[in-house]
Structure 1
Amino acid sequence: MTHELRTRLSRRRWPWSNTTSRSSDIPAALMLLIVETLVFIWAMFGYGMDGWAAQGRREEIDEATLASIAFMQHFLIAVVVLFVLAALARAPWTAVLQLLAAGAVAMMLVLSQHEYEQSHPRPAPTPSAGYQPCYSGSGRCD
């Protein structure tokens, strides 16, 4: 009785039970990578044009920059989800290309955030009411 149950369970096939064939994995990986690249380039071009159209108005340029950073964050999440799906489907070429794409998007996201932080430094702290500058030899240093 238990032997029959085991053979019945082993016959059921899950989508991730076998490795995806190379003849379908590689074209799917390349198509997915091409589509992702085109979507990313098109979106970044649009945000760049928004910044260019601002013509020096700092607030609008910052809005376009922050919108592009937000898009990159959401795009990175989408690429990681596609990586997980490719890994579950046991499609090694698709998973590797998605992992490389996620690394590239993460690198661009970090660089974009760093550039934005560098162009917008935090203001210097205001001095306290009892603050006196310390000059060499003055003897009034706190």
Structure 2
Amino acid sequence: MAGVSGGGGPVDVERGELFALLVSQLHVEVSTRAHARRRPPRHPAGMANSFGAAERWRPWSHPTPRGVDLAFAISLFLLVTAWLVLDWVFGLGMDVWAAQGDQSQIDVAGLAHISRTQVLLVVVLTVAVLAGIYRAWRTVVAQVLAALLVGGVLMAAQHQWDTSHTSPGCIRYAAHC
């Protein structure tokens, strides 16, 4: 038993009662502080807007977190770059090697490579638009850079195709060429 002096003199209080008294005083103090930190009530006009909860799920209502955006930007850019390199080496290169000098098979391999590169360009631009909708600006920039890379590869492949398939009899640009 412990002696606690109250307002009128020493009072015998057991330890459990003393602990309960301290906890109740602490609870009163904490709860009054919690009430002081509450937000003010919302304006009644804001409560009348029923679209607030529906707009939260829309992808453009909040920007994508920076870490997620960077992870997608870097991984998608590396994926597109690796696809271009592997398609150039294994897609076009192996088809040309397998053609064994047959020009028609080499032409088919070149056109197939151009077609695959065009599809990749459409896919990269679609991903860039989707990233813009989800407000992932770093992914948009990475996909635009990837689209420029794919466009450059496509221009090089088409230029190579055009220069290797011009008719030798046409020297100047005229109506009969």
Q: TM-score, normalised by structure 1?
A: 0.78
Equivalence for 2:164: 119
Equivalence for 1:83: 128
The structure showing larger relative contact order (alpha-carbon pairs under 8 Å, at least 6 residues apart) is 1
2:53 aligned residue (11, 23, 47): 11
1:27 aligned residue (60, 71, 75): 71
Q: In structure 2, do the counterparts of structure 1 residues 25 and 7 end up closer, same or farther at CA, with 3 Å as the change threshold? A: same
Equivalence for 2:143: 98
Moved more, 46-55 or 81-90: 46-55
1:78-106: CA deviation from partner (whole Å, max 9, x where unpaired) = 00000001111100110000000001101
The question of whether the paired residues in 1 share the 8 Å contact of 2:125 and 2:144 is answered with yes
**Larger-gyration structure (1/2):** 2
Flag structure 2 segments of 5+ consecutive residues without an equivalent. Answer: 1-44, 171-177
Flag structure 1 segments of 5+ consecutive residues without an equivalent. Answer: 126-142
Percent of aligned pairs sharing the same letter: 37
- RMSD between aligned residues: 2.0
Q: Which amino acid aligns with 2:149?
A: A
Partner of 2:167: helix, strand, or coil?
coil
Instruction: Number of aligned residue pairs: give it.
Output: 124
Q: Which amino acid aligns with 1:7?
A: N
1:87-136: CA deviation from partner (whole Å, max 9, x where unpaired) = 111001100000000011011111210111011103647xxxxxxxxxxx
The question of whether the paired residues in 1 share the 8 Å contact of 2:99 and 2:105 is answered with yes
2:80 matches 1:36: yes
Higher normalized strand content (fraction of residues): 2
